[in-house]
Each structure stands twice: as structure tokens, then as C-alpha cells.
Amino acid sequence: HHVAVEADVAVIGAGPAGLFAVFECGMLRMKCVVIDTLEAIGGQCAALYPEKPIFDIPAHPAIAGAALIERLAEQAAPFAPIYLLGRRVDALAEQPDGSFRLQTSKGEVVRARAVIVAAGAGAFGPNRPPLNDLDAFEATGAVRYMVSRREELRGKRVVIAGGGDSAVDWALSLKDIAARVTVVHRRPKFRAAPETVAQMEAAAERGEIDLAIPYQLHGLEGKDGVLDHVVLATLKGEERRVPADHLLAFFGLSMELGPIADWGLGLERSHIAVAPATCMTNIAGIHAVGDIATYPGKLKLILQGFSEAAMAAHAIHPRIFPGEALHFEYSTSKGVPA
Ligand code: FAD
């Protein structure tokens, strides 16, 4: 493993708290690398409610989730954070020299002298269907939760499960290149844009797509991670075996604490316990801010995460610049880099 990135502070999570931590660290001349599982920054605001207005951000009587994230990214931009997106931080360990070594799910190593965990309720990941031998079929790519290269499905028999936009959009997109597309949904009504649902139903009438409704995923058949059938079942127990090379499951995202539980951090009911004045965890040099951090009186609000980011940055400063006095300054007197 080579060292991909070195920075003063590694920020785990690109939600609102992580993004504002970049700004607060930047104002104290500390450079950040920000790592997030999602392909886009913004945490819950961007992934769960981009168009919903938030009413309790100071000085914004109403601002949509996505717009808030755009503003935070703009505010952090002068400090040129390095974004490593689309990868999870799997391991975090202190080194003999007091620095930290992080390892990502893409095998990269990140070195930093301090860490801010801004991981919300944990890493976003796909909801996985409870099926036999799922791990083996995931490992080979027979079962997938996203499509990064459409061409890989050319000529394949594809079963798509789910009733939202992803399922419908991919059914329409893949029907032209896949050998067969079967859409499995447990009820007739889809939760997707009516226009694309109508297109999918028209394609089904022309015989270009098979609709398996009302069916649910029941099992996977195949060997050594190579899929040959997806077994479907109705609630009454009627079964149907669909020949398939791939299953695409689109059941939405969920958050799980995941690897964070294994880093030796003091936890309290799936949250990281911190000292309220510094947001420091039980490990010196590792701080936690935002939804993941807990202490007596904690409010799980975005504005609280902003304040915690400021406290964590100030507490980390002496670690990055030992012996250098930190004179408190206002942003108005300092400005930000042009
Ligand atoms: P998050 O936004 O959860 O971001 C954490 C990020 O860390 C995620 O992107 C995750 O993928 C990433 N991550 C976690 N673990 C890892 C790992 N190991 N490796 C890499 N990345 C990782 N709050 C308000 O203040 N006002 C509101 O009106 C409001 N309305 C809401 C409405 C809805 C529908 C929801 C769901 C929430 C609302 N909230 C509101 C709550 C608010 O969104 C959260 O408090 C806020 O997003 C927390 O920010 P965060 O930066 O701590 O974490």
C-alpha cells in the first residue's frame, strides 16, 4: 500500500459538519483531506433531502439541503481540501510517531497528524436483500447495487429489483443492450417519476421488458458466485425462477456505523463519546463532530455540528503547530485566502 495522501487533518465524512471543519481548520492554516463513501459531498443533506428546505440554519430563514452543501463547499474551497469520494475509511490506527494512518476501501493509505470523525450515523451503503450466499454473488459482481459501466451488462440477462427511480431508469437504459431485463417489484405502484414509469410499462407491453409483479426476491441460484437464476416469490408463496446473470438491487441507502466501531473509540449507544469543550475522543488527536458525537446536552442539529467543528479545529491546532501560540482572531480581521 502506498501513501496516497498526506494532510494535517483527515476528515472522515463530507456532510455539513465535515465540510465546515475544513473551513475552521483552514482558518488555522491546517490542510484537510476529506473522505466519504458517497460519490458526492453533502452527507444526509445531499443524499436524503436535497430539495427540502431547512429552517434552522442561522441567517438562512430557509435553505434547501443541496443549496446549503453548495455554500459550505464554496466556503471551504479557498483552503483547497483534497476530496477522496466513493471510498469508505475502513481502518484508522495511531502510528508510533503520534500520527494517524487511515486505509480506504480502495486500498489507499492516508496519513494525517489529527483526525476529525464527522461520520453522521455512519457510512452510507446500499440496503442489501436478505438472500442466501449474497456475499459470494456480490464479490463476483453478479449482484450489484449500482452500475458504473453500463457496457458490462451488454448481452447479459439482468434482474432489476426495486420500485424507485433507480430501478425504473436502469430498466429503460438496459433494455437496449441487455439480453433480457426483468423488473421485480412487490406491488403494482412504483415510486418513480410517472413519465418514466409509463415508458417502462409501454416497453413491457412491447415485450422489451418483463415485469414480475407482485413478486419479491426469494433466492439466488448458481455456483462459486456465478449466478444462473434469481428465484422470486409472491406473498402467497408462488415461486418463479428467472434465468439471470446479474441482479441489480435498488432498495435505497441506509447508514451503518460499520468499521468505526473497531477503532478503539469510546462509544455510547452507537455514538462517539467526546469531551464537549474540545470534541476530543478517548484517543488524543482524534476528535468527533456532528451527529456522530455525543456528550451531555448534545443536540443533533447541523448548527451544533458547525460549532463543534470550530472547537475541534482549535483543539487540534497545538498538535499540528506545537509550541506556537494560537492567538484568537476573528475571520473579519484575517480574511480567507483569495
Ligand atoms: P452526515 O450528514 O450524516 O454525513 C456523514 C457522512 O459521513 C456521510 O456522507 C457518510 O457516508 C460518511 N461516512 C460515515 N462513515 C464513513 C466512513 N467510515 N468512511 C467514509 N465516509 C463515512 N438538521 C437540522 O439541523 N435541521 C433540519 O431541519 C434537519 N432536517 C432533516 C431532515 C431529514 C429528512 C433528515 C434525514 C435529517 C435532517 N436533519 C436536520 C439532520 C441533519 O441532516 C444532520 O444533523 C446532519 O446531516 C449531520 O451532519 P454530519 O456532517 O454530522 O453527518
Ligand 1, atom 15, lies closest to the CA of 123
- Point out the ligand 1 atom lying closest to the alpha carbon of residue 16: 51
pLDDT band at 334 (very low <50, low <70, confident <90, very high): confident
Residue with cell 460549532: 307
CA-257 nearest atom, ligand 1: 15
For residue 23, the SS3 value is helix
Q: What is the mean pLDDT of residues 148-166?
A: 95
Both 154 and 235 in a single domain? yes
Do residue 48 and residue 108 come from a single domain? Answer: yes
Q: Which residues line ligand 1 (CB under 6 A)?
A: 12-18, 35-38, 43-45, 48-49, 54, 56, 88-89, 118-124, 258-260, 290-291, 300-303, 305
In this predicted structure, the answer to whether residue 302 has a pLDDT above a threshold of 90 is yes
Residue that is last in its domain, among 218, 251, 284? 251
DSSP summary character for residue 208: S
Percent of the chain with pLDDT over 90: 88
How high is the mean pLDDT of the chain?
Answer: 95
Residues 121 and 132 in one domain: no
Whichever domain contains 286, its CATH number is 3.50.50.60
Within this chain, do residues 9 and 107 fall inside the same structural domain, yes or no? yes
pLDDT given for residue 256 in this prediction: 83
Residue 253 has pLDDT above 90, yes or no: no
Cis peptide before 214 (omega within 30 of 0): yes
Q: Are 23 and 105 part of one and the same domain?
A: yes
Domain-ending residue, one of 203, 220, 251: 251
What ligand 1 atom has the least distance to the C-alpha of 54?
A: 28
Task: State in Å: Cα 120 to ligand 1 middle.
Answer: 5
Instruction: Tell me the best of 44, 51, 102, 286 to mutate to test the pocket of ligand 1, counting ligand atoms within 8 Å of each CB and taking the most.
Output: 44
DSSP assigned state of 266: -
Q: Give CA–CA dist 185/174, Å, rounded.
A: 17
State the ipTM, two decimals: 0.99
Cα separation, 325 vs 252, in Å, equals 48
253 versus 224: which is more confidently predicted?
A: 224
Residues 171-199 pLDDT 10s: 999 999 999 999 999 999 999 999 999 99
DSSP 221: E
CA distance 165 to 200: 11
Cα 121 to ligand 1 centroid, rounded to whole Å = 7
C-alpha to C-alpha distance for 226 and 138, rounded to whole angstroms: 10
Distance 230 CA to ligand 1 centre (A): 35
pLDDT at 222: 97
Give the chain's end-to-end CA distance (angstroms, integer): 36
Backbone angles phi, psi at 306, to 5 degrees: -60, -45
Per-residue pLDDT, averaged over 202-217, amounts to 97
Residue 1: predicted pLDDT: 54
Indicate if the pLDDT at residue 2 is higher than 80: no
* 74 and 215, same domain (yes or no): no
Same domain, 166 and 55: no
| Domain final residue pick, 217, 251, 285 | 251
- CA of 83 from ligand 1 middle (Å) equals 17
Closest ligand 1 atom, CA of 47? Answer: 9
Q: Are residues 146 and 196 in the same domain?
A: yes
- 31: helix, strand or coil: coil
- Please identify which residue in the block is written with the cell numbers 436502469: 170
Rounded to whole angstroms, how far apart are CA atoms 177 and 171? 10
Between helices 16-27 and 65-76, what is the axis angle to 10°? 20
Q: Do the Cβ atoms of 115 and 18 come closer than 8 Å?
A: no
Name residues whose C-beta falls within 8 Å of residue 333's C-beta, 6 or more positions apart in sequence.
none
Please report the pLDDT score of residue 338 as a whole number. Answer: 75
Distances (CA, A) of 232 to 113, 132, 203, 327: 51, 13, 21, 65
* Nearest CA residue ID for atom 40, ligand 1: 301
- Give the residue numbers spanning the domain of 326: 3-125+254-334
Exposure string (b/e) for 173-185, b if CB count within 10 Å is 16 or more? ebbeebebbbbbb
If we measure between CA atoms, which residue out of 78, 89, 93, 103 comes closest to residue 19? 78
pLDDT (tens digit per residue) in 98-132: 999 999 999 999 999 999 999 999 888 889 999 99
118 CA from centroid of ligand 1 (Å): 9
**Residues 199 and 230 grouped into a single domain:** yes
Query: Half-sphere exposure of residue 2, counting CA atoms within 13 Å on the CB side?
Result: 1
> Which residue's CA is the closest to the ligand 1 atom numbered 48?
291
Which of 302, 308, 319, 322 lies closest to 65, judged by CA? 302
Separation CA 92–CA 286 (nearest Å):
10
Q: What pLDDT score was predicted for residue 329?
A: 87
Calculate the CA 135 to chain-centre distance: 20
pLDDT of residue 255: 82
**How much distance in Å is there from the Cα of 124 to the middle of ligand 1?**
10
Same domain, yes or no, for 212 and 134? yes
Q: Do 246 and 258 belong to one domain?
A: no
Highest mean pLDDT of the ranges 136-150, 251-265, 282-296, 320-334: 282-296
118 and 12, same structural domain?
A: yes
* Atom number, ligand 1, closest to the C-alpha of residue 291: 52
Q: State residue 123's pLDDT score.
A: 83
Mean pLDDT of 264-270: 94
| CA 112/CA 257 separation, integer angstroms | 22
Measure 8 CA to ligand 1 centroid, in angstroms.
Answer: 24
Number of structural domains (the chain) is 2
